[in-house]
Structure 1
Amino acid sequence: MLDFPLPAPALADPSAPTLANRLAMRERPAGTPIMRQDWNDLLFLHWPVPVALIQPHLPPRLQVDTYDGMAWLAVVPFRMSKVRTRISPPVPGAREFLELNVRTYVHLDGVPGVWFFSLDATNALAVWAARTFFNLPYLRATMSLDCPSAQLRQFRAERTHPGAPPAQFRATWTLGPPQPAAEPGSLAFFLTERYCLYTSNRARTKLYRGRVAHAPWPLSTAQLLHFESTLLESHGLPTPTEKPLVHAGGPVSVELWPMQRV
């Protein structure tokens, strides 16, 4: 694992979303969603990092979103199920698969969202469609999720995408009691209440925003029993030696809207 010192928090960003901006994102977007899916068995692993570490990795116009002056990096494994589009019947073999993403938090014009460094997935069709039609950095990987008991989860992943930097991930955790809903303005609210994602074309000359809608995350406590990963390193990002902030989440039923150029 690589390490780095955490500097003093950055000065407040005057363009950062207000709490009212963040709460407004809970509202369901106008129009018709193009896809629906359920997200299950999530594990949120978060680390505070210097803003200067993240900003150079973002396309022009996007700014790092911060909490108490710090940026946040996250690794999030989960299980996707009941995947279906608005206009087509369920595709055999594509209704349920595993996913593992590396992400940070950004904002543009007062709209907070997620920026994905990568989204590894087990489903080849989903990877192709997301890369082709949504400009999302999906990558092929082999993964497994074992649930030996109602509380215990074991997730394994190895990236297999041709030409992509190799990466592995292993985590074992136990689920604890449910937590109260994240209080608006709290760190848990900042990290998990994200109803927008950003992406760009490969040349980074075009920026796109997509909206999702779902109920606020049902969170529970979790204890991380084992963790090893080279995901962040595969993007040239150091992994702190400090233990991550851990939340478990799900399930939620999610609606997705088309990506729009911004």
Structure 2
Amino acid sequence: MKLTDSHCHLDFDRFDPDRDRVIQNAAAKGVQRIVIPGTESHRWPKLHALASLYPGIFYAVGVHPWFLHDEPADWRQQLAERLGQRPAKLVAVGEIGLDAAVDLPMTQQQDFFQAQLRLAADHALPVILHARQTHEPILKQLRRFRPPGGVIHSFSGSLQQAEAYIELGFKLGVSGVITYERAAKTRQVMAQVPLEALVLETDAPDMPLCGCQGQRNEPVRVTDILATLAILRGESEDSIGAATEANVGRLFALPA
């Protein structure tokens, strides 16, 4: 069974010592495609280089709300130029969004977020969204700018919020959060929403799965997330794997 890790920060320095091994290990277990979200403009060239080097690697470009204070004045122009060039393996704008738990003015976060949503809509690219305690303001901006779909990274909101995203054509990222029994609300949501709304992700090297706390997360863990999701939904791993692969393939227009 072929699987995709739809959100893995494979460009981060923590993978520098053994990135080849990480990719090979994942592929050996069926995780043959990885989508790397962008976080800072100075990292975008590395994303392109990795995608050029490995056939199963795809990427997005964007500015994460945690890092916007370090961005150069011309970040918006840089992003517009990259989207205009549209390399074959650039599949989305992201990771973008709003985070109410970081010490950065929400007005500044909104400025970055809205500019990137506008560019995504202009270039007809889906978005990869970071949302922490900000689902309602994010939904408001999605209704305003109408990018062509996307994914809510590691969704952990309510069923009502999940349904609002799905109504707008968005997918929900299913992460290792569901492997923790204490995440009862998220586990319940992932068991209830339509399978057509789900994609699998690790957020590696962060967000270790239950039982792996303190360890570096890796894309191979998508297989464990799939196994947990199958138990929660009472469906087979094969059927969920096939459905989520179809979902992520359509979302990011990945080659078959």
Whether TM-score is above 0.5 comes out as no
More strand by share: 1
Q: TM-score, normalised by structure 2?
A: 0.27
Q: TM-score, normalised by structure 1?
A: 0.26
Structure number with the bigger relative contact order (C-alpha 8 A, sep ≥ 6) is 1
